[in-house]
Structure 1
Amino acid sequence: MFDELIEFPSRPELLAPDTMAYIGDSVFELFIRNLVLEKNMAKPNQLHQEVIQYVNATAQASLLEKLRDDLTEEELVIVRRGRNIKTNVPKNANPADYQYSTAFEALIGYLYLAGKEQRLLEVFNKIKEIL
């Protein structure tokens, strides 16, 4: 869909995991925002309150744990790289959850940047089943 507008990196697996997580955060939030809109919530404040239930370190770490058995070896490598980056953990976040949340975002970012649309859709459909 975006390949006509955006030039994706030729080897996204070589990107820094925090770069993959940066993009993955946006892609995941857009997915969640669309999912919430499917519920026909009209007011922006309601939308925001619903979205933040899913777009936070604890929720994303939990999703990653539930998806782990469905991930390929290649995807697990990306997850490990994302989990191991050194970041400043926000005061309100659990450090372990924050690490796994970053790993989850790196995975989503990698799938997006690699142009693996079908696999990204599979992961998002699995997330819909979980939620």
Structure 2
Amino acid sequence: METGLNAFKEALHLKHVEAGEYSPLALAYIGDAVYELAIRTLVMNRGNMQVNKMHKKTANLVKADAQAHFYLLLEEELTDAEKAAYRRGRNAKSFTMPKHATMKDYRMATGFEALMGYLYLTEQFDRMAELLGKGLEQMGELISL
């Protein structure tokens, strides 16, 4: 039996995809889910608590202004390819307006999500983990064990 990512791909009959073939908003779509899963995992790992408290903590880290701030913390760490993925997402024309964010933060957050989607689809999990760890540490969200 396959283990890890290969087992997941096999069980769901997933085909190989090229990240560059997807629109920047499609990259942001999957990147949003990947980033939220990482944050939910971090919040749950801090210990059992009421789901409402977990949701509030998660929401504070995944909202547009937090993602925009996250990107600014990491900007200097990014490779040219990662910056390009971010710019594609940031510059994408979305037909929705943010409810609780400025347009600038919303576009930056979309760029950040596109970056996460790019890293996910190109299976650069170590790099994604490195960037998330650095950003969360700089935000003061990582606790020492």
Partner of 1:57: 64
For residues 1-131 of structure 1, the aligned pairs below 5 Å read 1-6=4-9, 7=14, 9-87=16-94, 88-131=96-139
Alignment deviations for residues 99-131 of structure 1 (CA, whole Å, 9 cap, x no partner): 000000000011001111111111121123123
Alignment deviations for residues 65-98 of structure 1 (CA, whole Å, 9 cap, x no partner): 1100000000000111000011122232200000
Write the letter of the residue equivalent to 1:53. Answer: N
Q: What do you get for the CA RMSD once the two structures are aligned?
A: 1.3
Contact map agreement 1:9 1:114 (CA 8 A) in 2: no
Please give the alpha-carbon distance, in whole angstroms, between the structure 2 residues aligned to 1:19 and 1:32. Answer: 20
- The number of aligned residues is 131
Using the TM superposition, give the Cα deviation of residue 14 of structure 1 relative to its aligned residue in structure 2, in angstroms: 2.5
Q: Given the two structures, how large is their TM-score scaled by the length of structure 1?
A: 0.93
Structure 2 unaligned segments of length 5 or more: list them. 140-145
Please give the alpha-carbon distance, in whole angstroms, between the structure 1 residues aligned to 2:20 and 2:108. Answer: 18
- Bigger Cα Rg: 2
Contact map agreement 1:82 1:104 (CA 8 A) in 2: yes
Write the letter of the residue equivalent to 1:92. Answer: H
Q: Point out which structure has higher relative CO (alpha carbons under 8 A, 6+ apart).
A: 1
Structure 1 unaligned segments of length 5 or more: list them. none
Contact map agreement 1:79 1:107 (CA 8 A) in 2: yes
Contact map agreement 1:32 1:54 (CA 8 A) in 2: yes
Please give the alpha-carbon distance, in whole angstroms, between the structure 2 residues aligned to 1:85 and 1:97. Answer: 13
